[in-house]
Every structure is written in C-alpha cells, then in structure tokens.
Chains A and B, each alone.
Chain A
C-alpha cells in the first residue's frame, strides 16, 4: 500500500519540530533513506508516523486511508517503528522478546503460527543462533539486530527504522541491510530508515529524503540527491559524489 504524508506539522509542547512536511507516493517495496544531521527531526517524523506523537496539522494515509485517527494498537499493526537502541535488563530470551513484539497485536494465546513467524524472522535475519540467549547478555550490535527482528516480525505495511546500523560493525551493517531488503522483496512493505552513513544509504536505498531543521530539502533518487550542493551545506562538510570503478556511488566528504 502506498504511503502519503501531507502537510504534516508536529512538535513537543509549543515547540514545532516538523514544519509542513510532505512525502508523496511512497510505493510498496520501496526502501527510503531518511538523511539529515542530528536534531533535524528524523525521530520526530518517525514518532508522528507511528502515532506516538499527535500531529498539529496534516494527514498520513496508507493506501488512501487516513491512519491518524486509528487506535494506537491498530496503528501499531500497520506501522512498525524501531526506536533508537536502548539497553534493557529484562530476563527474557531473544526468542521471547521477538514473540512479545508479535503478541501485542495478535491475541492472548500463543499459537503455532506465532512460533513459526518468530523462528522465520530470526532465521531470515541470521539470528537463530541467538534464540535462547538472554537479551540482557547481548552486545550492543546484537541488541540492535533483535530490535530489527521485533519490528519486521509483525509484517506491517510500513516499517520505520531509526538508525538501524548505528551500533553495528561493517559486516553486520551490510548483513542487516541486506536482510531488510530481502524481507522487503518478500513482503512488500514501505521501509523508511534514518541513516547517518551516506554511502550505506547510497548502496541500499531506492529513494532518499533530506531533512534539515524540520523541513524537507530534497526528495528523490540517491544519485540525484547525493549530488546536490545542499548535502554539503546541511552536514557542514565539503562533499563530492563520485562513482567507483565498479559503478557504485561514493560520497567523498571532508571538513569544510
């Protein structure tokens, strides 16, 4: 289902963070990279789409249906949001923690289908070896991958990932992004991920949105967006977009 955001305004108390944000026509099975410096409003945009923050104006629709008035639980079934990683000391296994993410919207009893979904998700993300580990004993990177699993196990129409790779080493960055893309190809959700690494964004995203101070500066194909002079201005660096000999995009950034 297509996601549309129209003239969205939101903030905390009297401080408006998002000023008239519109994102048109995000098709299913599109991987959108949300880029922009710290405090540009990325997390606020996610919270507003997920329904944790009430917009002061504007609409969010999925397949033409306005979701801003849905009950929180119903909304969570359609839009899954992964907040930035936090530590947690609960005595739960990885398997249980993914199961509980699924059970928030699927009735009280655990049935065979629930268990299949959890095992499939852990296998798809290459995490099955962690299934019986306690979540309090995981490394930061492992905890982040479990958070991704908690998000995609619900098979939502829209997946919002707030910096899914921030705690991961290079291997795991590539592996988690590849797994997310494979999952997208299978289930066709809209995926929006806030990313700090522009090269990772160039490699995996179909579309990039550049956000600065609560305003969308640019929205389009990675090759087009990363070549804009606004990239350098927004991040306060000198940035040149180059193409490697194998044809991949590469952002060469230096301090301005």
Chain B
C-alpha cells in the first residue's frame, strides 16, 4: 500500500535528519575542543604545543613557571571565553524565541549598556549596590544593573499591546538612556577612571578568575536542564503565540520563567567580560541555519557555536600582534560581523535559487 511506503519514507528521513543534527553537534564540539586547546597554547611566551599539552596533563611537569602561565593565566581566560560565549548565545537564543524577534539579544535589549553604566558607577564613584563585595565591586554593580534591565524587559512584555517590535524599541530606549548616563559618568571621571571605563566597555577576558568560572558554570548547569525541560513548549511558541496556546502551552507563564532564567545568564556573562555584542546574535543564527528550530538541538548547538565564536575570538585577539592581547569586544565586531553577514547573504541566495 502506498500509504505505508510513505510512512516508512517519512520516518526514515526524520531519522536521517536527526542523525545529521547529532553530527552537527559533534562537529561543533570537536571544533570547540580544538579552538580551546589552541587558545590555551597561544600566548606571549612561545612554548611548543607539546610542552603546553604536558603541563595541561600534569601541572608540575615543566616547573612552577609554566604551571602558573598555563593554569593561572591561560586556562581561566580560555575557559571564560567558552563559558561566556555559551551563556550569551543561550540567552540570545531564548530571548529571540520568547520575544519572537531575531534581533533580540543582551546587547540589542540594552542589557550590556546597563551593565556598563553599573560598572562605571563603581569605577568613578565607588558606589556599590550590593554591600561588602570587595574586589568584585565592578562586576557586582554591572550584574545588578544588567539584571534590573532584564526585569524591566520582563515587566514591559507583560504590558498589554506590546509587540515584538516594541520590545526592540524599548531596548533602544534603554540603550540610549544608559549611554547618556555613562557619558555623564565619564564627564565626572578622572583620566585614569576614564581609561578603566573604556577598557571595561571594550570587553576583555583578562578579568577571568576561577571563582567567576565556578559561578558561571553553576548557572549554565541550572539553565540548560531548565531550558531543555521546556523545549517542546518553546518549539511550539515558534509556531506563533495563538497556536502554542491552542496546544495547551501557558505562554504568559513560559515567557516569565524563561526570561528570569535568561536574565541571570545574560547579566552574569556581561558582568564578567564587559560589552561583547554580537555573540548572542550570531550563535543562535548559525545554530538555526545548521539544525533548524527544534529546541532540543537548537539550544545546545547555540551554546556550542557561541562558545566556539568567543573561543576563536580569544585566539585571534592574541595572534594578530605577538605580545598584544586586543579586547575581544573589538574583535567580535570587526571580524565577526563581516563573516556573519556573508553567511546570511549566502544562505539567502540558496533559498532564493
């Protein structure tokens, strides 16, 4: 019977599609591992790959000096790149789904600008929102402001008649407000403080530390299962709000839950490394082109692509001029954006032909 043949064919092509998706995840994981290793191996001191690898496996194999370089300087930076890339990309992916807008990400929604203002407040006035944070003052302030902005977005989505375009407009409004406040801070700041603010805003991995990594990992370990548990309702949301609701999804509640989760991720990432635009945009976009929008594959792959992009950025930032580490925020925008645009244009051509 022809119906049965069709059914078998459909199942076979679904199975091969699933296999392709796992393959994509495996490939990107492999590339990430490679990029991570080269990131650790690259740096001002030109040590051979084999030496770095040996120190990696046994910290004391080449003496204290190399242990400190690899384990205390390079590894935290490399791990932070992977972690923050993943955090930003997952935050971007979920925001895009919840707000039904492909432009949504921590940067475009004003979260980064708010974090910058929080950081500058700490740098210039030494004002702390959370008392007794000590050396984490700047990070803590950035975190609080980023989280507050996410709270504002959450509040705005609950207002009646606020569409997804309006959300981006809100983001731009937030962006300009905090930019103005930031300019005010810079106006009041001393030369040294201005330098610190500007450096903070460029985004840098050099602020990496094992305690921040620990915190970020814990968050990611909570957020990924939390998101995976909601993959089916989130995929349904991609069919449109009305359709998702008709399938039994409590859309309003789903939005609030996911935004709270994503806010923590975005605020953490931004407060760790400063302004790194674009990773929250490019991670999900590339993942979408590779595996579509079944969230079971889309969310993990977004995390992996985001991690890969920032890990490569970290590698490039050290490789351009020997001995100089450029701020990653500059690299992601200068090199990443043209690459990203060319990807978008080439896939568009494919779809048209």
Contact = CB atoms under 8 A, between A and B. Distances in A.
A joins B in a complex: yes
Interface of A: 50, 52, 72-73, 75-77, 80-83, 86-88, 90-93, 95-97, 100-101, 103-105, 108, 115-116, 118-120, 122-123, 128, 131-132, 135, 147, 150
B342 interface: no
Interface of B: 3, 6-7, 9-11, 13-14, 17, 229, 231-233, 235-236, 238-240, 242-243, 245-250, 288-289, 292-294
Contacts, number: 98
B243 A92 contact: no
Contact of B246 (A83, A87, A90): A83
B232 A103 contact: yes
B243 A86 contact: yes
Majority SS at the chain A contact face: helix
Given A88-B240, A90-B239, A92-B238, A150 B10 contact: no
12 contacts: A52-B246, A76-B247, A76-B248, A83-B246, A92-B292, A92-B293, A96-B292, A100-B239, A101-B236, A104-B249, A128-B3, A131-B14
Contact of A90 (B238, B242, B247): B238
Contacts of A118: 10
B13 to A, nearest CB: 6
A100 B235 contact: yes
Majority SS at the chain B contact face: helix
A83 B236 contact: no
Given A77-B248, A150-B247, A95 B238 contact: no
Contacts of B7: 116, 119-120, 123, 128
Contact of B13 (A76, A77, A131): A131
A120 B293 CA distance: 23
Contact of B247 (A91, A101, A131): A101
A133 to B, nearest CB: 11
Given A91-B292, A104-B233, A118-B10, 18 more contacts: A52-B245, A72-B249, A73-B248, A80-B246, A81-B246, A82-B246, A83-B242, A83-B243, A88-B240, A96-B235, A103-B232, A104-B247, A116-B7, A122-B10, A123-B3, A123-B7, A128-B3, A131-B13
